[in-house]
Amino acid sequence: MRILKFGGKSLGNGQGIKNVISIVQSKYKHEEAIALVVSARGDSTDWLGSMLERARKMKDYQKDFVAFKDYQCAPSLGWNYDGIFEQIASILERTKLLGCYNQATKDLLLAQGEILSALVVSRLLNDNGVPTQFVDSRHFFITDDLFGSANIYDELSRCLTKRYFEFFPQGVVPVVTGFLASTGSHVTTTLGRNGSNYSASLLAKYLGVKGVESYTDVDGIFTADPNVDTDAQLIPKLTFEEAEIIAKSGAGILHEKTIQPLKDGKIPLHILNSFNLNSTGTLIEARCLNKIIQDE
Ligand code: ASP
Ligand code: MG
């Protein structure tokens, strides 16, 4: 099995989501088995967070909320996500009335971005010849209650994940929510911003897959920020250790905890651009001949 992880930028409305559907269609035809892990689409997480802040300041957020709903529904017009929108509305209303929220409430609200994303992607793929099933990662990723950046209970999560997927129907592609987990008492938690990469590596390790492909909107990891430095060069290969240094330096492309589960399972991670499939991306694996980053 191989895990395909799609970031928010890759899943945006229009060309983004279209490319994702066609990438998955072609992988489905050629791979023995795949599982998807998805982030919230576009800027949904920031969007939800900013509506929550407006509500806390007792400001109006209705216009934003209407735009948010339109954005979520655009790729799959006619499908009904009312239950999720009602939950979002009720959190925002309560926050506006009280003028405050707690971190658990914020995690539950942000979680709706990934839930909507996995539902939309799963349904679109079903309609385009790829049988899928929506999978809520809160069933098997169990954490402490450090809301906003919860810590995984590794052994428990591994057992539950294996058990969950043991009876998963063959030939059906799981579309798993990134970023989300829950406490032992079923309270929603999140794994930290950009945490969907970490979700993908945890799933990869627990299921013992042969590789993870992580799709984003840039060609891979560069020697510097290509938007700022015109001399920035794409790094074709990195070792896990080198990637860890980059992740810990705060590069948004890699969540800090992403590498360890892959290192544990010796599972390569290939970072690719869903808008430019001609690029070879950055491959992160155990050994690497072109050592680009020297140990400090
Ligand atoms: N949607 C979450 C975020 O924006 C998680 C992710 O994108 O990986 O931080
Ligand atoms: Mg995101």
| Among the bound ligands, the one closest to the CA of 107 | 1
Q: Please state which CATH number belongs to domain 2-40+113-295.
A: 3.40.1160.10
Going from the Cα of 7 to the center of ligand 2, the distance in angstroms, rounded, reads 6
Cβ distance 169 to 133 under 8 Å? Answer: yes
The response to whether residue 40 sits with its C-beta less than 6 Å from ligand 1 reads: yes
Instruction: Give 83's contacts (C-beta < 8 A, 6+ positions apart).
Output: none
> In this structure, which amino acid lies at residue 162?
K
With tokens 């942000």, the residue in question is: 110
- What pTM was computed for the model? 0.95
DSSP symbol at 211: E
Residue nearest to atom 7 of ligand 1 (CA): 194
Separation CA 39–CA 5 (nearest Å): 8
- Residue 247: name the closest of 290, 284, 280, 286 by CA: 284
| Among the bound ligands, the one closest to the CA of 113 | 1
Q: Best mutation site among 37, 52, 176, 179 for ligand 1, i.e. most ligand atoms within 8 A of its Cβ?
A: 179
CA distances from 199 to 64, 179, 202, 212 (A): 29, 6, 5, 11
CA distances from 49 to 8, 54, 92 (A): 15, 9, 10
Separation CA 133–CA 130 (nearest Å): 10
Pairing mode of beta strands 142-143, 180-183: parallel
Going from the Cα of 290 to the center of ligand 1, the distance in angstroms, rounded, reads 31
Going from the Cα of 136 to the center of ligand 1, the distance in angstroms, rounded, reads 15
End-to-end CA distance of the chain: 36
Going from the Cα of 296 to the center of ligand 1, the distance in angstroms, rounded, reads 30
Alpha-helical segments (H) within 150-282: 154-166, 196-207, 240-248, 259-265
pLDDT, position 76: 86
Instruction: Give 261's contacts (C-beta < 8 A, 6+ positions apart).
Output: 198, 201, 202, 204, 205, 267
Residue nearest to atom 9 of ligand 1 (CA): 193
Separation CA 71–CA 83 (nearest Å): 16
Q: Best mutation site among 116, 120, 194 for ligand 1, i.e. most ligand atoms within 8 A of its Cβ?
A: 194
> In this structure, which amino acid lies at residue 28?
Y
| Among the bound ligands, the one closest to the CA of 148 | 1
pLDDT, position 296: 40
The response to whether residue 18 sits with its C-beta less than 6 Å from ligand 1 reads: no
pLDDT, position 295: 45
Cβ distance 119 to 136 under 8 Å? Answer: no
Separation CA 118–CA 134 (nearest Å): 6
Side-chain-side CA neighbours of 258 within 13 Å: the count stands at 35
Show pLDDT as tens, one digit a residue, over the chain (296 residues).
Answer: 999 999 999 999 999 999 999 999 999 999 789 999 999 999 999 999 999 999 999 999 999 999 999 999 999 888 899 999 999 999 999 999 999 999 999 999 999 999 999 999 999 999 999 999 999 999 999 999 999 999 999 999 999 999 999 999 999 999 999 999 999 999 999 999 999 999 999 999 999 999 999 999 999 999 888 888 889 899 999 999 999 988 887 766 788 899 999 999 999 999 999 999 999 999 999 975 555 554 44
pLDDT, position 34: 97
